Amino acid sequence: MDLAGINRERVQLRRVSAAEGALFAEYVRDISETATKLGPFDRSKYQLQIAAIERAYNTRRLRWLTGMEYHLQHNDNVYETRTNPELVHEILDEAIESEYHKGLILEVLKDGPLSVKEMAQKTGLKVYTVSKRLNELEKEGLAEFNSHDGTTPKFISLAA
């Protein structure tokens, strides 16, 4: 959410069991108060960012990491040691940033072939970042070179 410029308090995830009705009610009250304090959210201003967030979250990498985050921090591994929570967060943060950037690129490529510079302009990412993430997308089979505009290479998305 921070990467997208959307206040992270707009989305919250809390764990609660079916037997904890009072705690659930408290969570709903807290989240409702936060939403009221933040005011209305204009989804139309963040269409690209929201699409990129959805695309990133649906990657196997992020789904696995977010699913394993709690386990990695609270359970011993096969060597009877626990993973450092700071390391888990560092790895997760890097993965979130990478997948979000790739999501932005794939979203802007939906409109047709673009150069690295054009992708950077449309996404707000630095040219170097677009180039790096585009390389990752090519290795994953999700984007590829399409044509040249003069001497400028243009790329397309192969993702659905």
Q: What structural domains does the chain harbor?
A: 1-41 (no CATH), 43-157 (1.10.10.10)
Return d(Cα 10, Cα 88) in angstroms, integer. 23
Phi first, then psi: what are they for 145, rounded to 5°?
-60, 140
pLDDT digits (tens, 9 = 90+) for 8-56: 888 887 888 889 999 999 999 999 999 999 999 988 999 999 999 999 9
The pTM assigned to this predicted structure is 0.81
In the predicted structure, residue 160 carries a pLDDT above the cut 80: no
